[in-house]
Amino acid sequence: MSLEKQQATPAPKRAMRAAKSILRFTRNVLAVFGVFFVYLLWHGYDAYQAEMAAAATATDAACVKTSHCM
């Protein structure tokens, strides 16, 4: 093979490949954060429901989050 065929990849193609890699990595990180956020929403809502269920048997539901009932 001649030296001309063994040249490195041209800079624009290399930059495009790097940009695609960065965007792919960013997309995957955001997907992980999204899954974690949904988990936190589910966990918080589940805890809220458990607190409301426990409060419904003990006192009026309006008194749960405050120190006094209105």
Q: What is the mean pLDDT of residues 32-53?
A: 94
pLDDT of 6 reads 57
- More reliable by pLDDT, 8 or 14: 14
Q: pTM of this prediction?
A: 0.58
Q: What is the DSSP letter of 1?
A: -
Q: What mean pLDDT do residues 41-67 have?
A: 76
The band of 35, judged by pLDDT with boundaries at 50, 70 and 90, is very high
At residue 59 the predicted structure's pLDDT band, cuts being 50, 70 and 90, is low
Q: Which residues in 17-44 are b (16+ Cβ under 10 Å) and which e?
A: eeeeeeeeeeeeeeeeeeeeeeeeeeee
